[in-house]
Structure 1
């Protein structure tokens, strides 16, 4: 009995001691606060300026492939930014740009036939002392959507091209009507 009373007292003392520490367990250490994951507009602009120079050779290479009637990527000049934080709260950003692969030797759209493959180029940079420093070599990632994806891409491109042609035709007819109206008004003003 004495032994169980002593054990109970020790357990109660431990519980009281640990419950007193509980508020501190969830406290935030402001000395090592995490930075925000969103890039400020100024930081994003400096990264975008640097990336436009770094990515240019890839756009040129894909343009050369297209000119030679080889499979090429229709790279989009838009980057997706995936910020993260490394040791000592340093900002590390993976920058991803991608596009659809086309085969210009096959019919389908004005760009050729989509192959059903999406490719992404990933650049990784760290912000050190206000300058962007490459952390890893650019690497390619690929996603194959298969025959069904190829079919959907072709249909989507054909719809887009048809819509664009209809809009251009509409704009031309509006411009012609406006020119005719202006000419009629000018003729009426002269008489």
Structure 2
């Protein structure tokens, strides 16, 4: 008779909040396949770009993973962040981290579902959207198309895309490039909705 093999929980790592009210705070993050938290250096560059735009904005952290981008926005006084994460374990840990930081349900919500499903059904509108999908899975284009076709962006909204090198989704004509940077392994770009 074969014995059932227990699945081991994913190892824990951490992310560090760069600035704001929780500056220096470390939050646990799971080591899951496809989960690739945005590096400290990239987050610092991104939030330097976003500095005058984060306060009081309604954010969507799509493909939330560790929740690092959303937590950084909350630390810098975003009005609210909606974390959307498909992996149940990652979504549960984001919920745990929301409680750990003492954030209320009006400021932070976590949805455990594919981002495409959420975008196809919602009528919510956002001021700041983070899209950092798992690499090499062709998930970004559908989300870009849904944000545009369903009019889910407020005027002047900012959209952050973090992708593998060489990936260039077809973007709506209403999105203009605001800032961009590339490292050896990552392209990151910030667009503004006109």
TM-score of the pair, normalised by structure 2: 0.22
Q: Higher RCO, 1 or 2 (CA under 8 Å, sep at least 6)?
A: 2
Which structure's CA Rg is the greater one? 1
TM-score of the pair, normalised by structure 1: 0.22
Greater fraction of residues in helix: 1
